[in-house]
Amino acid sequence: MSGAHQPTAIAIRDDRLTGLYTLAYLEELLKRDWAVAHREQRSIAVFAVDIDALDLYNNTFGRAAGDSTIRRVAHIVSGCLRRSSDVTARIAGGSLMAFAPGLTHEQALQIGHLMAERVRELRIHHPRSAVLRYISISVGVCAAVPAAADSPSALLEKAQQQLQLAKKSGRNQAA
């Protein structure tokens, strides 16, 4: 079968629970947008989002309630990024990742704070959370203008590091 074209693997696009993209598909889209941002010297902002104390919520109210909460939080987070170029994905459990081309770090941080505020406004009761009486999220934010030596995966990693900083600083916030 010489000369036959082998189809390339395409990442599964949609997360079944939330309807958001999968991480693999987000990474494909980020690579594409990374090249454009590098060429145009435009920034890309990345958001790493995690629902605080989701395991305790699931233990208290059950998996179905936890899944419902994940769907509601995913809807709020993706709603904060409304442009057609903005992409939101569910990584696993209550963890989400998003990116938005053209945002400065300050603009991205404002959106990260907005995400946390809007999730608090849902007022989903969480009696076992040490953070708040309601479901909350921690958000790691990072933005950069891609340089030749940079990579999309490095930006995703920096956003994850900022997420860990938000968690260590008390959760229920953006860092």
pTM (2 d.p.): 0.90
Q: Residues 62-90: what's their mean pLDDT? A: 96
The string of pLDDT tens digits covering residues 111-164 is 999 999 999 999 999 998 888 899 999 999 999 999 988 899 999 999 999 999
pLDDT number for residue 68: 97
pLDDT number for residue 40: 95
The string of pLDDT tens digits covering residues 4-39 is 444 455 567 899 999 999 999 999 999 999 999 999
pLDDT number for residue 138: 97
Using CA atoms, how far apart are residues 44 and 42, in angstroms rounded to an integer? Answer: 7
pLDDT number for residue 3: 45
The string of pLDDT tens digits covering residues 34-54 is 999 999 999 999 999 999 999
pLDDT number for residue 132: 85
pLDDT number for residue 106: 96
